[in-house]
Amino acid sequence: MKTMSAAAAVLLIAAAAAAQSVREVRVEKAGDAPADPGYVQSVVETRAGMPFDVNRAARDVRALERTGRFSSVAVRAEPAGDGAVAVVFSVNARPTIERLEIAGADEVGNRKVREWLALGVGDLVDDAKLAAAARRIQDEYAKTFYPEARLTWTMTPGAAPGTVRVAVTVKEGLRARVSAIRFAGAKVVAESDLTERMKQKRFRWYNPVHWFTGAGRLSEDDIRADAHALQRLYAERGHLDARVEGPEYVRSGGDRVALQFRITEGVSYRLASVAIEGVTLFPSNDIARVARLAPGGPASMAEIDAAREAILDYYGNRGYILTQVRPAIDAAAESGKADLRLQVKEGTKSKIRDIKIRGNVVTHDEVIRRELVVAPGEPFNRSRVRTSENRVRNLGYFSYVAATPEPAEEAGWHDLVLDVEEDRMGTAEAGVAFSSIDRLVGRVEIGHGNVDLGSWPPFGAGQKVRLGAEIGTRRQDYYLSFIEPYFLDQRLRLGVDLYSREASYYSSLYDVGRLGGQLSLEKSLARFYSVGATYGLEEIEISDVDEDASAAIQAEEGTRMKSSLELSLVRDTRDRTRLTTRGNQTRLSSTLAGGPLGADTDWYKLELRSSQYIPLWFGHVFLLRGHVGFMEEYGDATRVPLFDRFFLGGLYTVRAFEYRHIGPSDEEGEPLGGRSMAFASAEYTVPVYKMVRLAAFVDGGMVWEDPFEFDLDWNTGYGVGIRLDIPMMPLRLDYAWQIDADDYNEDDNGRFNIMFGYPF
């Protein structure tokens, strides 16, 4: 056991109180393995001749535990005469493995179990380490469909002192893959609703995703949680007496196992009466309106819990943060009626005395405080505290964020304590990716999301830095980016980007190179709105133009400078930026190149983009996207350069058509882009397993030569796809067919689009 005994702690405190000196430091063994006094004394700080210090002795115990060489460590102080003490460290040393034998792993193999054990001859061992290894091996067995696997072990003394022989015995049990989940007695709730609520999933041999993800592994932990989840589902639908028992395991041949839950649904209750008790500080009618419960409605635990939270918010938003609400339900099965009493215990009104931040080691306090929407001196507001908590969580710096009130010394005041636990913020990534546009690409990137370039060590101010390269068969990109989220101590986001890009995937007739940078500022206007300004300066080169290219392409060869300024207005209500399920993002922008900004390129552009995510049933999501744009040259310019025009077609837009091939082209069929465009898409995605979704979509769009041109003669297509949104290994695969196409793009064979990334 890795803690000091209570008796030892008492002796230490008594010795410390007497301010005694240390006469000697002794080491004694508490187990069979020999203890090395010299090693122990080299680790501890306590020395003969020092005044005895209880804190130093406690640190010594922790230091010995951290070495990993001892199963347990204890310390005590013994009187040594003349007001001195002897400090005795009692250590139980872990023995080393002299021989390791494994038996019983007939299906998986003893060699594989030895790898999972992660122990070998010469390693330190004890029962605690073997127990941890056994749990790890049982988890590995469960992944290979052996949920009943168990390990036992024995340790016998070895030939040499301080050594043991370890014999591990494996009982693998029967292989079990969940092929069916049944619900005996379920009538009012659909089987699909029940299985949707469960963590345990079925294996379907005809579903390739299940082979890839290992669906159907029998997990006893998941099943125990599922029984409670199913009972909760019934309670949410008014079946307050519902009981879920089991499951029973029924083998159906081979390794196939069916799970059968026994469900007693009971009565579907409706509310006969709703009473709110204990309200004295506010009008009862106001609390009743907040609760939104009325007689005649279903006695749903989901709605009752929502009413409870609404009442707590009502009180908590007015400073009464310690208010409690307890539902009490009197149900009569004979009548199917339930009387609900919401018992309110009103707290006292409180203000925020101080805001304390705990747990941040690297991140500066001000980085956290500037995200808070509450301040000292204000009445406690439960909703604003929760919003502050979410804003800190959304920084992405912390794996844990919790805001709680803590009583202050004076009545009517509480401190708001924000506990955080920092997550890993630095990244170093290397990988390969493949897409149907730029083929094979190798990627290397290092970055940090919490940098402070104005201090040393340079971390903690919330600044973000990325440095990377992407090198492939059809492009070479190098980039450096920096973001200051609070420029000039305001909610003003400053971004700096430098890049060098060379690409040959635009066309087989020429290459494009870009060297430049951008400086951007973004200001939040309200909860969902922001405005931005971006200045860019870049040198663009069209090179290696094929001698057989058309005159229109030949005219683009060479180098020119572009100086541009973009102004934008953004509305973003999405629930999250990745794997979005609801909300809208709309972006209106105007860009001016050249003219008063100088350089060789003179044009202006207007664009509107919008994406609407609509959540449906059972995790289904319907996505609508639209994009329109117009641009035109001005001044002495006679055309918009090729590299700035609008293009459509390919993986990111109309997927049934070749990349950039929608719209005007030269006599050889080479796309030339245009000065007007419109694009729309509708996509329906269905969750299959965790981060795997299936998709069906319809795309359409057109690019026109002249500015502000528009008609309904679009190129359109439809298709199906799969989304594998596993972190660090995304896969987007689509197959699309054309519906309507112009003469150049006519192709009835379908088109395959793939984007795949896989890290080293």
Task: List domains and CATH numbers for the chain.
Answer: 6-93 (3.10.20.310), 96-171 (3.10.20.310), 177-264 (3.10.20.310), 270-345 (3.10.20.310), 351-422 (3.10.20.310), 507-515+523-528+557-759 (2.40.160.50)
Is residue 322 within 8 A of residue 382, CB to CB? The reply is: no
For residue 216, how many C-alpha atoms fall within 13 Å in the half-sphere facing its CB?
A: 24
Helix (H, G, I), strand (E, B) or coil at 464: strand
Type of residue found at 659: Y
Strands 676-689 and 475-484: unpaired
Type of residue found at 526: A
Q: What is the pLDDT of residue 1?
A: 38
Is residue 51 within 8 A of residue 102, CB to CB? The reply is: no
Q: What is the pLDDT of residue 11?
A: 44
Element (H, E) at 356: strand 351-358
Token representation of residue 606: 């207007």
Cis check: omega of the bond before 247, within 30 degrees of 0: yes
Is residue 737 within 8 A of residue 698, CB to CB? The reply is: no
Q: What is the pLDDT of residue 281?
A: 93
Closest by CA position to 675, among listed 699, 710, 649, 701: 710
Q: What is the pLDDT of residue 379?
A: 92
Residues of the chain with pLDDT under 70: 1-19, 204-216, 427-440, 505, 690, 726-729, 744, 747-748, 756-760
CA 647 to CA 91: how far, in whole Å? 74
Closest by CA position to 570, among listed 598, 552, 592, 589: 589
Closest by CA position to 105, among listed 172, 151, 150: 172
End-to-end CA distance of the chain: 41
Strand blocks (E) in 616-691:
621-633, 676-689
Strands 270-277 and 337-345: parallel
Element (H, E) at 24: strand 21-29
CA 222 to CA 293: how far, in whole Å? 33
Q: What is the pLDDT of residue 308?
A: 95
Helix (H, G, I), strand (E, B) or coil at 288: helix
Token representation of residue 430: 């290397």
CA 308 to CA 291: how far, in whole Å? 7
C-alpha to C-alpha distances, 118 to 76, 114, 130, 136, 691, nearest whole angstrom:
35, 7, 10, 10, 31
Neighbours of 134 (CB within 10 A): 19
Neighbours of 1 (CB within 10 A): 10
Q: What is the pLDDT of residue 20?
A: 82
Closest by CA position to 713, among listed 747, 739, 742: 742
Token representation of residue 514: 């870009």
695-726 core/surface letters (b: 16 or more CB in 10 A; e: else): bebbbbbbbbeebeeeeeebbbbbbebbbbee
pLDDT tens digits for 530-576?
A: 999 999 999 999 888 888 888 888 888 899 999 999 999 999 998 87
Give the DSSP per-residue string, 411-450: TTEEEEEEEEEEPP-EEEEEEEEEETTTEEEEEEEEEEEE
Q: What is the pLDDT of residue 179?
A: 81
CA 343 to CA 307: how far, in whole Å? 12
Q: What is the pLDDT of residue 605?
A: 97
Is residue 558 within 8 A of residue 511, CB to CB? The reply is: no
Q: What is the DSSP letter of 748?
A: -
524-562 core/surface letters (b: 16 or more CB in 10 A; e: else): eeeeeebebebebbbebbbeebeeebbebbeebeeeeeb
Radius of gyration (C-alpha) of the chain in whole angstroms: 34
Strand blocks (E) in 233-280:
243-251, 256-264, 270-277
CA 654 to CA 715: how far, in whole Å? 8
Question: Angle of helix 284-291 relative to helix 301-316, nearest 10 degrees?
Answer: 130
Q: What is the pLDDT of residue 233?
A: 94
pLDDT tens digits for 562-614?
A: 999 999 999 999 887 777 888 999 999 999 999 999 999 999 999 999 999 99
CA 233 to CA 222: how far, in whole Å? 16
Type of residue found at 609: R
